[in-house]
Structure 1
Amino acid sequence: MNFEAVKSIYMFEMARMRRTLLQSVISPVITTSLYFIVFGTAIGSRIQSVEGVSYGAFITPGLIMLTLLTQCIGNGSIGIYFPKFTGTIYEILSAPVAMTEILLGYVGAAASKGLIIGVIILITASFFVDIRIAHPFMMVVFLVLTAVTFSLFGFIIGVWAKSFEQLNLVPMLIVPPLTFLGGSFYSINMLPPFWQAVSHFNPVLYLVSGFRWSFYEIADVNPLISLGMIGLFLVICLSVIGWMFKTGYRLRS
């Protein structure tokens, strides 16, 4: 393992976060604060509690997950797409660096950025609502697995995309609706039986449900099933990336 290569790629990607603090850190914090003001105050005043938890506290895991998914996919995709766009990807591919080392550098940086933002959002939320974490270890497990998995997913999008329009297609048009419809702001038990069944086909439901369970021990889906679904998606992403590296799909042409 060429740790120096991994470190170089990782530190280069992390430096981008320092150069774009307004976009990378301040913007998500402001957006999340507005969610708490609008949803937590305006709607929360009409919804006293959800399954015994105040509405503002109930939506906190969903907001963290929404931000985490968006940040990890965005960082994971732009990290590998930009070298393709500028042509520097060929310098990386021709260097004595294994594909796994390239993957560790880019995905590790994307996941780290997402985790940093997630922790900042959690701290920000504590100023608005009373948060309790029933299972801190499981919260970290869900947070890390989700960050790594969706950074890998973002990496796939970055390799697949041929333009900036394609690069933003999934993060902007697909992920937010799935997150909003995945129980981020409500419990699916509030839905009619038909829509409850439909919601189980939304992968984001399992992420939000498992993450919320680590806070308040309430969940729409069994936490073990949620953990299994994240693991399954992780394996699928690794398999797709393995195929991309093996065939050179949109990397060597």
Structure 2
Amino acid sequence: MIVNLHAIKAIYRFEMARTGRTLMQSIASPVLSTSLYFVVFGSAIGSRVGDIGGVSYAAFIIPGLVMLSLLSESISNASFGIYMPKWSGTIYEVLSAPISYLEVVIGYVGAAASKSVILGSLILLTARLFVDYEIAHPVWMIFFLLLTAATFSLFGFIIGIWADGFEKLQIVPLMIVTPLTFLGGSFYSIHMLPPIWQKLTLFNPVVYLISGFRWSFYGISDVSVEVSILMPLVFMAACIVVVRWIFKTGYKLKN
């Protein structure tokens, strides 16, 4: 199979150019919001919480805050990126072009994931202004960052195709993903919870993402690192199956 790199590049560059036109909304706003978390939780509350697993509270919440922004922005970027061509009707030009669904997905999802990785990197740099932190496993940190961005951008791509209105684009990120992230150990270790809640929390898939990402920083985790790696891979595989079915059937694309 020959991959049309020119088509992928065209879609990718178009989507990345949109970021430049919405710089305040796409980059500046999430970074500013996360900075406020560092001020409120890291400085004001962190001094009273103390260390968690030998890590200061201000440093402990950094992986959780990065994941909080990464998950929501990956979904939003990808869903909005594919929804706008549907809304304006230009999606038919893409569907009629001599390119495969794989090339379309790589272009849109690759751009959304790139934006999220840039945002996550900026948040990590911004965190340096508020607290000192070390990255124990930088290669694994990059791996978790890229894997999470790609997986949830793919999930956002599916949401963008499913949504038939701007309101639906925000339902999953605001009503499902954000609450799961807050309840997934962004600001605390699940070992701080009562035993029954520790068991219930394990049904939250975001716990594994945050735990694995935090392990790459400080070498501590709430759950098995192997499971933290496996969970997003399984979710990505499920999303790929759904995307393939969407393009095969034309679900909400050709009607």
Aligned positions, number: 253
> How far off its partner does 1:16 sit?
0.7
Is residue 79 of structure 1 aligned with residue 81 of structure 2?
yes
Secondary structure at the aligned position of 2:136 is classed as coil
- Runs of 4 or more, structure 1, over 6 Å off, are none
For residues 47-196 of structure 1, the aligned pairs below 5 Å read 47-196=49-198
- The one-letter amino acid of 1:221's match is V
Counterpart of 2:248? 246
Q: Deviations over 1:170-217 (max 9, x none)?
A: 111111100000000000000011110110110100000000000000
TM-score calculated relative to the size of structure 1 = 0.99
TM-score calculated relative to the size of structure 2 = 0.98
Secondary structure at the aligned position of 1:44 is classed as helix
In 1: Cα distance, 2:150 partner to 2:13 partner: 17
Q: Deviations over 1:61-120 (max 9, x none)?
A: 000000100110000100110100001101110111111110010000000000000000
Among 218, 221, 224, the alignment partner of 1:219 is 221
- The one-letter amino acid of 1:111's match is A
Counterpart of 2:199? 197
In 1: Cα distance, 2:120 partner to 2:216 partner: 15
Counterpart of 1:23? 25
In 1: Cα distance, 2:233 partner to 2:16 partner: 26
Counterpart of 2:9? 7
Counterpart of 2:40? 38
List runs of 5+ in structure 2 lacking aligned partners. Answer: none
> How far off its partner does 1:48 sit?
1.2
In 2: Cα distance, 1:32 partner to 1:163 partner: 28
Secondary structure at the aligned position of 1:46 is classed as helix
Secondary structure at the aligned position of 1:66 is classed as helix
Identity over aligned pairs, percent: 62
> How far off its partner does 1:223 sit?
0.7
